[in-house]
Structure 1
Amino acid sequence: MSISVGDTARISKTITEADILMYAAVSLDTNPVHLDAVAAEKSLFGERIAHGMLTAGLISACLGTRLPGPGTIYLGQTLEFSAPVRIGDTITAQVEVVEVGEKGRVRLATRCTNVTGETVLSGEATVLPPRGET
């Protein structure tokens, strides 16, 4: 498979309570806004929200399983969080190739949206696709 500017891929997941609890355990991010309903109620969001990096992980999943796919090496990522992700939200991560550069590096626009189409996260990734893919 050859990678070209304009290629896209996406992956979707509904964020569950279990996802948040497992992510907190693995990442050690036990911020009460993610885990404590009473504390989160007093926050800017008024309720518990998912970890931003849990959402960003969907981009990694898309890159490593869809485009460029298995064997991809993640080199860099910029992230801008623009809206909270709540328990029960279905999030779609989308990647789009914007440049196939020298040394085989691929630059992709990255974005996560909720079911209403609201962007919750955007940024840009740089990856090295599996050998022979560019």
Structure 2
Amino acid sequence: MKTWESFIAILAFVLSTILMFFTILLSVVLIPQLKPELVEIMILLSFLLEIAGYIGLIMVLKGKVNEKPKRVLFLLLCGILSFLLFTSIVGGKTTWTWVLTLQEPFEWFLILWPTLVSAYFVVKAIRVLNSA
């Protein structure tokens, strides 16, 4: 892995760790009160997908993109899907407007950077698979 790739991956991992902390806190609150409603089940699903994406970023940091590209690809896609699912369900149009207009740069960076880095490594994993 190139130096700049390591840097963006480490930064994404640090930011993802902050988000993972909030996910665990929200899960502790949400799971005991879980009702069989579609929205709550989808939020819980997005949390599970986020955990998979987090594991994918760990694999990127360990340099597994070239060794296990299918697994890395799957896990990172889970993380991206988590972002899309959670953003669409919880915030809807308001959140997507916020994402696209960069109203709060630090929050935007905190939330979107891990997703953008995951997308980069998804493309890299696809290239590894296509070259094999």
Q: TM-score, normalised by structure 1?
A: 0.28
> Per residue, is there more helix in 1 or in 2?
2
**Which structure has the greater CA radius of gyration?**
1
Whose strand fraction is larger, Structure 1's or Structure 2's?
1
Taking structure 2 as the reference length, the TM-score comes to 0.28
